[in-house]
Chains A and B, each alone.
Chain A
Amino acid sequence: MTPPRTLGGVPDPDEEELIERLRAGDESAFGSLVTRYHPSMVRVASTFVPSRAVAEEVAQDTWLGVVKGLPRFEGRSSLKTWIFRILVNRAKTTGGREPRTVELDTGDGLGSERFTAAGTWREPPVVWTDDIEDRLAAPEIAARILEVVDQLPESQRQVVTLRDIEGLSSKEVCDVLGISEGNQRVLLHRARTRVRAMLEDDVRRWGK
């Protein structure tokens, strides 16, 4: 299950208790915090830096920043958002990701060939939402989704990872990445559109 989320900075009582324990240096509190967020942090950091190993370093370095900042953490954002903000700042400073030289080969599934001159579907989308779960096993879908997300241009990948995979709100995503809501939406739309197109292709290919 996804960890508890706070909306717009409303304090989560469990989180408050966790923060108290962290401040007191409770080892098991640190253990559960690391278990809960470290893999996500590495995933998010990977969208900024050239390798998994560097992402791992950025995440570890972020943890030190978290320990250091805890006494001053005021709970105006959720703990997760706060941690991600530290992470993204460090990841940006580290940077070094090679700009993509090869264009993404998955399209958005919405080329001009899909619509008539009047703008209606030439061939309407085939219905697959009813039975996708029967056709594709969940781990299979997750692996394919990550594959496609990995191929997205960085900015789209960052937004969709934080928003849809990690479950941050749009406001939190903007806050963490330092982008406008409008920009966030455009990037999110492109990313989701491409992931949808991939799912459609897969369902067509495997579902027969």
Chain B
Amino acid sequence: MTDYASLARDAGLARVGARPHLFAYLAEAWSRRAFAVTLASYRIRAANEENRLGLAWVVLGPLLNAVVYGVIFGVFLHTAPNNGPAFIPYLIVGVFIFAFFSDSFSDGAKSVIANAALVKSLSFPRILLPLSSVLQSLFEVIPMVVLMLAIVAVFGEPVTVAWLAVIPVLVLMTMFNTGVALIAARITTHFRDFRQFIQFITRIMFYTTGVFFSLEQYLQGDPALLFIARLNPVHDYIALIRWATVLHSPFDPIFWIIGSVGAVAFFVFGIVYFWAGEETYGRD
């Protein structure tokens, strides 16, 4: 019986498909970054190519969503925060920023299994697929943020230097979303059923994030529950952007702390977790 393994070792052959070290893996992914960027921007174009309004749908979709929520929660249910800001800019910030999270989460989760044909025909660091889907969401959120700021300004909010805080918040949020997308992408390859849970998780997040109401106001009698709700980084990113643009209240630094810790923790854990499963992608 031939000992093939030692024969291969003697000939200096490396095992095919072996997972490289984390840093070598990330270096390889970095050298192929053009693929992730191109895939993301082409995807956006391909998704809107057949619509008459084309790329305008990137912002029209969330805008129509905001109108629906505005009518239901602002006109019928009156969830608008009392003696606070105008409801429409408040709501637009919540809906648009939340869409960045929910798109990254759901598209990221699908990113590996939806590209099974690509995974089965070419070898490249698989992390590029979830990264590309987060990039796609990021490319979509940038025009949304511009529109959002324009709407906020139209509603008479003063344009102040505090608006610049939007940039670091989006950086933190991109890190957080990347971590979530990477974790979801790997879980989905192991359990397809996870896709079904995503919409429920997203819905729970939507209602507990204060997209259309103020958590602080509704939970003011229950500090423990409020504290737990604030541990959700998505809430904190939305709160930070609201603070920078539409709220003029004094501001709680706990949001920066939770937002930063959450971003770094999810980003690092997501990368390591996804990398650890590298050899299993492509298995049906």
A and B associate in one complex: no
